[in-house]
Each structure stands twice: as C-alpha cells, then as structure tokens.
Amino acid sequence: MTTLIQNPAPEMTREDDGFLRDMWYVTVTAKELKPGKMLQKQYLGEPVLLGRDPEGRAFALRDICPHRAVPLSKGQMWTEEDGQTSVACPYHGWRFNAHSGQCVTIPSLVEGQNFDLTTIKVRRYPVYEQDGLIWVYFPADPSDETLSMARPPRFANMVLKPGQSEGRVKYIERAQLECHQDNGVIGLLDPAHTPYVHQSPLWRSSKGLKPKEKHFAPTELGFTMLSHKPVNSPLYNIIGGSIKVEIQFILPGLRAESIRNEKHGYLGLAAVTPIHKDLSEITQIMYWDTPVLDALSLIARPFTHTFLQQDARVMRWQGEYAQYNPTLMQIPDADTLMVWYKRLKREWVRAREDQRDFDNPIKPAVLRWRT
C-alpha cells in the first residue's frame, strides 16, 4: 500500500515580505537561457528553476522536488517518448513535465503499485519572453491559474527597427543589491543622490547643482516623466539632433529611460527584482539603433559597472542599518517619487484584496529640485 505524505504548504504561512504578487518580474535575458539548459535561481524568496526546452520554449518551475525537497535544477532535462520535455530529479529520478510541472514518471514503482501520478505536481510559474527578456509571473495564490496581466508590461518607445516587433538587447549589466527591493527601487527613483553617489569627472560632480522642473503624468501601472529637452549629458550629445527624453516607471520595479531624436532611439531599462527580503538584483538592459553606440558600448562597460556598484554600495550601507529600525524622512519634491512608489504599491495590494481594478493614485504634477 502506497501512502502519500502531504507536503506542508509553505506559501500558506508566508509572512508579508513586502513584494507585490500577481505581477511579472524580469529574470534573465533570453540569451542567458540556452536551449536544453536549466538555471538555479531564487526570486521573491522562492527557489525557481528557469529552463528552456530543446525546442526553445522557456519554462519556470518551483525548484523543489515534492518527494524529498532537493533542487530539480540539479537534475537533468529529459525528452519523453511523446516528445514532451521533462525534468528528472537528481535524487530518485522522478520526472516532471517542464511546462506543467505534472509528475510523469516514478521510476521505482513496479507493476501493481497503482500510484496516482496526477496527484503530484511541481508548481509552475507562467513565463513570457518579451524584448529579449525572460519574464516570470509570481501569483499571490499559487493554485490560481488566471493571470491578472496576460503579458508583461510594455514600454512606450521600445527601440524597434523596421519589421521588428521585439526589442533586441544590446547590452546588459547586473548587480546585487544587499537590501530589500524597495530600497533598490527608491534608489532608482531618487534624483537627489546622483551628484553625490555617481560623482565622476566624466559626467557629474556635486558642484554646480541646478534647479530642475519636471512634468509627470500617471500611466497604467506607474508614471512618466514627460519628454523634455535635456541639459547636460554626454550621451545626449552623442545621439545628437533634437533630443527627447522620457522616463517611465512601472510597477513592480521597472524604470525605463528613452532618448530619441528624429532618426534613432535608445532605451535603458533598469529592473529591480527581489531575490529575498534582504537581497535584490538590478539588471540594466539597453536597446538602441544608433550605430555610434555600438562602438561606444565596449568603452562604456566599465562605467556602467561602476555606476551600478556605486548604488550597490550605498544600499549595502542602508541594508546594514535597517536592523536599527530607523525612522525615515521625506522632503519636497525630491522624495515625492518615493512617496508615489509606496502609494502605487499600496493601491496594487488593496485592489487585489478588494478584487477590483487597479486605480492609479498618481495625479499629473510638476516637481522641482536641485541636482
């Protein structure tokens, strides 16, 4: 007689980790996920196996074997007789369909041991490949198969050459932030730190701060800093022509800066994805169709690296001092974007709780600061 020992459901007791669920998150780039390969990852405090079957379809599974809790990502990808791809656990070889998580084989079973495999399933996460990125959906209720957003958010001004429907990643840089995702996102939205944290003779110094005035409008899941004529940046000079800059913020932690002239475009996307409560990952992804940037990107790599590390250093300091539960301050208007981020998050959570549509709490505004 075979007995199935019920696994405890850890998600039922999940304390509030401050992460938004029912949302798409940026994980790795499409190129980093090779056909036939699996990656062992952690996002939102959950172990995640990212994989791509030999046919090229990406998948994501909860990276714990339901039998004895070893990571499935340490196992092997397998092609079943019917051509379907499965993942074989490295411990006792149970196999799970890569896309549904359904258990398809328990090798140790013999004739007559009629064990119902349909009762065993590894949780799968919806995956969507868009603009050269692998997006993974983290549902609030793991058993709920309905998606609140059928596909990940799209950025206005994605750089697309004629005939292309997807952005092509030209550049990627990644850094670990030893802090909660909130601090990472707030750092992205914080105008006043730039002349201090990112001091560099090449682009900025803290001397000569100038007053700025920026116009903002709400968007579907965030807000946009409306197109303006920029003042001081070498990147703008390189692109040339009559430049328009627009910065978009989209929940849960996506900031995109688009720079365009009449002919060409650049879009720099920064995505902050939580790994767990005290660790986040920031991925900087760039798209462009400006030929001069192709050559420059090689030279620019060390600068982007330094830039992200400068942020990471401050956030590590912040993370270390979180243990003292400090009270934090907000001043006008340089901290307003942080306040908006918190409001957007709160509204997302409430809208899910009340089972109603998200109602963007941000109103059009003009904000001023000196940077």
The verdict on 92 binding ligand FES (CB under 6 A) reads: yes
Pick from 285, 296, 287: which is nearest to 260 by CA? Answer: 287
Closest residue to Fe ion: CB criterion: 311
| Residues contacting ligand FES: total by CB under 6 A | 8
Looking at the Cβ atoms of 95 and 260, the one nearer to ligand FES is 95
Name the residue nearer to ligand FES (CB basis): 65 or 134.
65
Is 8 or 291 the residue whose CB approaches ligand FES more closely? 8
Q: Where are the beta strands (DSSP E) in the chain?
A: 23-29, 38-43, 46-52, 58-62, 76-79, 85-88, 95-97, 103-105, 124-125, 127-130, 133-138, 171-177, 211-219, 222-228, 244-250, 254-260, 265-276, 279-288, 365-370
The contact pattern for ligand FES, residues 12-51, with x = CB under 6 A and - = no contact, is ----------------------------------------
Beta bridge partners of 129: 134
Phi/psi of residue 198, nearest 5 degrees: -105, 40
Question: Contact with ligand FES (CB under 6 A): which of 30, 44, 58, 65?
Answer: 65
Q: Alpha-carbon distance 162 to 88, whole Å?
A: 42
Taking CA atoms, 290 is separated from 166, 232, 276, 296, in Å, by 17, 19, 37, 10
Max CA separation in the chain (angstroms): 81
Near ligand FES in 68-87, by CB under 6 A: 68, 70
Q: Is 257 in the site for Fe ion (CB under 5 A)?
A: no
Per CB under 6 A, the segment of 35-43, 88-96, 122-130, 274-282 that binds ligand FES is 88-96
**Considering the complex, what minimum distance in angstroms separates the CB of residue 49 from ligand FES?**
13
Q: Of the two residues 87 and 308, which places its CB atom closer to ligand FES in the complex?
A: 87
Select from 14, 36, 91, 149 the one that contacts ligand FES (CB under 6 A).
91
**Inter-residue contact 239 to 259 (CB < 8 Å):** yes
78 is written with which tokens?
């397998």
How many Å apart are CA 346 and CA 349, to the nearest integer? Answer: 5
- Nearer to ligand FES by Cβ, of 7 and 330: the residue is 7
The contacts of residue 65 (CB under 8 Å, 6+ apart) are 71, 72, 75, 89, 91, 94, 122
| Residue 311 touching Fe ion (CB under 5 A) | yes
Contact 56, 34 (CB under 8 A): no
- As measured in angstroms, the least distance from the Cβ of 107 to ligand FES is 9
Q: Interacting stretch for ligand FES, rule CB under 6 A, among 63-71, 164-172, 200-208, 267-275?
A: 63-71
For residue 57, the minimal CB distance to ligand FES (Å) is 23
The answer to whether residues 274 and 19 touch, using CB atoms and an 8 Å cutoff, is yes
CB neighbour burial string for 23-52, b if at least 16 within 10 angstroms, e if fewer: bbbbbbbbebbeeeebbebebbbbbbbbbb
From the list ligand FES, Fe ion, none, which binds 48 (C-beta under 5 to 8 Å, kind-based)?
none
Stretch that binds Fe ion, among 132-140, 164-172, 216-224, 306-314 (CB under 5 A): 306-314
Shortest distance (Å) from residue 198 CB to Fe ion: 6
**Interacting partner of 94 out of Fe ion, ligand FES, none (Cβ under 5 to 8 A depending on kind):** ligand FES
Binding site for Fe ion (CB under 5 A): 311
Binding site for ligand FES (CB under 6 A): 65, 67-68, 70, 89, 91-92, 94
